[in-house]
């Protein structure tokens, strides 16, 4: 049978304790006030859970893909907003790990590992969401550097993060998709500014803002990889980080199921606890069954991410797509099980339902995930298989 390692289980218990004691007490207020979860950030930095994926040679914990997913899952179980701290840090810095020079990695991954800087990811634009290759942000050669102009939209933790991986067209006449390059932009760079915070349905404590670039001068050594490799690096990044969105979705769903279980075991109607009614039991069984299927798919995808398997694009898309759909159903059912109380802010179920929705949208809508999976199927002529050794034992 599949079994994750004792080290991973020990990690889960450690993260769960931090989440329970240091993050959960602030989750409702962070959502209500739409403020950054500073208490969670401080607690995660203190325990090296804020960016666990950073390799040890740069001062990081060197966590593997599954360990990182477990961190995100356990934090999301109590606060989806706070789970975006390790999630966004991985998304923003992974392009650097995949394609950056050694000097660039040392310069930016080291402060990330220390917790003195956070990382965000700038790919989407107002008119270039799913169609990333249609971006209009431009980086123009200028002496020994580049001049960056344009904007990026829907950027997680914008304004809080110190560093940003930004994709821009560097060859307007080049082949579409092969004319984009990636750069590191620093918050302090002249001409770099932020739009107003978006007013969102969920994950309210994580600031989502536009990035604005007005003649931002970047040294040549800020480029990640070679000219024209940006979009390739960006899409390869998403193959890996979509797995973490699946982990976030699993965590949100688990938190909602926990809430529902606690409630139905206490609530009485018609002289008995509502947990004794078969209709309620069927709902709980369905919630738990689909949640566990989502968790196993996420863990299998995490193992493939760690090995960088050739079928990762399918499994990353599948894990993100299925787990987020499950999270939406489970959180909605949790609200239903709580009845009128589920519709109030007295219980976390309504917050979790609102938070779950974004997992179906960001890092590629679930419609795009189905396109990714279908292309893999058509290219291979058969569905990828999960080998018996797909998960750590």
Q: What is the CA radius of gyration of the chain?
A: 21
> Alpha helix (H) ranges present in the chain?
6-18, 24-33, 38-46, 65-76, 80-99, 102-114, 230-264, 278-307, 312-338, 349-358, 366-380
State how beta strands 145-156 and 138-142 pair. Answer: antiparallel
Cβ neighbours, 10 Å, residue 103: 9
CA angle 32-298-378, nearest 5°? 120
What dihedral angle (degrees, nearest 10) is formed by the CA atoms of 48, 51, 54, 59?
A: -40
| Catalytic residue from among 74, 210, 229, 363 | 363
**Does residue 148 contact residue 183 with C-beta atoms inside 8 Å?**
yes
86/205 Cα distance (integer angstroms): 14
363 in active site: yes
**Cα gap 360→372, rounded to integer Å:** 15
| Number of residues written out for the chain | 393
Q: Are 107 and 150 in contact, with CB atoms under 8 Å apart?
A: no
Which residues are CB-contacts of 385 (< 8 A; sequence separation ≥ 6)?
A: none
d(CA 258, CA 77): 9
Q: CB atoms < 10 A from the CB of 21, how many? A: 10
Sign of torsion over alpha carbons 24, 29, 35, 38: negative
Give φ, ψ of 92 to 5 degrees.
-70, -35
Asked whether the beta carbons of 46 and 62 are under 8 A apart, the reply is: no
- The alpha carbon of residue 254 and the mean position of all alpha carbons in its chain are separated, in whole angstroms, by 17
Catalytic residues: 363
């Amino acid at each position: 049978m599949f079994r994750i390692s004792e080290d991973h289980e020990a990690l889960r218990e450690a993260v769960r304790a931090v989440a329970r004691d240091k993050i959960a007490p602030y989750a409702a207020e962070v959502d209500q006030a739409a403020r950054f979860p500073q208490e969670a950030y401080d607690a995660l930095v203190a325990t090296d859970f804020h960016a666990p994926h950073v390799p040890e040679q740069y001062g990081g914990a060197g966590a593997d893909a599954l360990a990182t997913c477990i961190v995100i899952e356990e934090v999301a179980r109590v606060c989806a907003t706070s789970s975006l701290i390790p999630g966004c840090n991985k998304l923003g810095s992974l392009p650097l790990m995949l394609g950056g020079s050694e000097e660039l990695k040392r310069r930016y991954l080291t402060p990330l590992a220390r917790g003195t800087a956070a990382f965000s990811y700038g790919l989407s634009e107002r008119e270039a969401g799913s169609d990333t290759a249609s971006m209009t942000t431009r980086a123009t050669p200028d002496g020994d550097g580049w001049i960056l102009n344009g904007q990026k939209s829907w950027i997680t933790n914008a304004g809080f993060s110190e560093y940003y991986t930004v994709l821009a067209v560097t060859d307007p006449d080049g082949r579409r998709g092969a004319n984009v390059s990636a750069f590191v932009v620093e918050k302090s760079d002249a001409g770099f500014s932020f739009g107003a915070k978006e007013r969102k349905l969920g994950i309210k404590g994580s600031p989502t803002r536009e990035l604005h670039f007005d003649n931002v001068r970047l040294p040549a050594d800020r480029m990640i990889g070679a000219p024209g490799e940006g979009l390739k690096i960006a899409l390869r990044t998403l193959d890996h980080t979509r797995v973490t969105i699946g982990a976030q979705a699993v965590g949100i769903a688990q938190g909602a199921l926990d809430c529902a279980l606690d409630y139905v075991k206490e609530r009485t109607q018609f002289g008995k606890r509502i947990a004794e009614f078969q209709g309620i039991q069927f709902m709980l069984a369905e919630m738990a069954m689909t949640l566990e299927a989502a968790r196993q798919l996420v863990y299998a995808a995490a193992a493939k991410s760690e090995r960088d398997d050739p079928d990762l694009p399918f499994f990353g898309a599948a894990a993100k797509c299925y787990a987020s759909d499950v999270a939406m159903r489970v959180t909605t059912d949790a609200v239903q099980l709580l009845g009128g109380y589920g519709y109030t802010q007295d219980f976390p179920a309504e917050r979790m339902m609102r938070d779950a929705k974004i997992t179906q949208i960001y890092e590629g809508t679930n419609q795009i995930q189905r396109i990714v999976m279908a292309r893999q199927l058509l290219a291979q002529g058969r569905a990828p298989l999960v080998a018996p050794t797909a998960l750590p034992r």
